[in-house]
Amino acid sequence: MLLPHGTLILVVDGSRMRLLRNGGNDVSVELEVLEESALDNPASHVLGSAAPGRAFESSGSARHSYSASDLHQRREDRFGQEAMKLLCRKALDGVPIVMIAPPHMLATLRAARDHRLQLQVLAEIDKDMTHCSPTEISSFLRKRT
């Protein structure tokens, strides 16, 4: 994949985010880290231990339980939305964008993306690469057609 100079690459999962920029040219990709952050996100049972609520029928003795909220997932989604806000602030004047995230997070990023950025997106890659170095990400992108 050819990445023009200045292309922004957002690599995010539920708890880690890295924003990279191609400081090189189309052929010689040199990724530099612009922003990096991590979220300490404990399991849902640690975040909230209350049992889901119950609803009673107005007639009869039937009861229904509400579904338990997944606080861990909600925090991951919020983290992805904040990562997209950061990308929107950095992506000025038609800078090309590549987003790399696991499938669920990629859906969260798409939902949070400003519609004006749609034309700037070069690629959306559904893969978890937050554990990879910029060199490994660069090598992976170079091999993609």
- Ordered by start, the domain boundaries in the chain are 8-38+54-143
The predicted-structure confidence for 40-69, as pLDDT tens digits, reads as follows 755 655 555 556 666 666 666 666 665 556
Structure confidence at residue 28 (pLDDT): 86
Q: What is the 3-state composition of the chain as percent helix, strand, coil, each rounded to the nearest 5?
A: 35, 25, 40
Q: For the whole model, what pTM was predicted?
A: 0.79
The dihedral formed by the CA atoms of 101, 144, 4 and 109, expressed in degrees to the nearest 10: -20
| Cβ atoms within 10 Å of 50's Cβ, excluding its own | 7
- H or E segment and range at residue 17: strand 16-22
Structure confidence at residue 144 (pLDDT): 83
Give the mean pLDDT of the chain: 85
Structure confidence at residue 47 (pLDDT): 52
Structure confidence at residue 65 (pLDDT): 62
Structure confidence at residue 15 (pLDDT): 87
**Confidence grade of residue 32 (pLDDT, cut at 50, 70, 90):** very high
- Specify the CATH number for 8-38+54-143; select among 2.40.110.10, 3.60.15.10, 3.40.50.720, 3.30.420.60: 3.30.420.60
Nearest to 34 by CA among 51, 48, 20, 53: 20
- Is 27 in a helix, a strand, or coil? coil
Structure confidence at residue 33 (pLDDT): 95
> 100: which strand partners?
11, 125
Q: Which amino acid is at 55?
A: A
- Tell me what percent of the residues of the chain surpass a pLDDT of 70: 78
The predicted-structure confidence for 12-27, as pLDDT tens digits, reads as follows 998 899 999 999 988 8
Tokens of 85: 């806000």
Mean pLDDT for 80-87 is 92
Residue 43 contacts residue 70 (beta carbons within 8 Å)? no
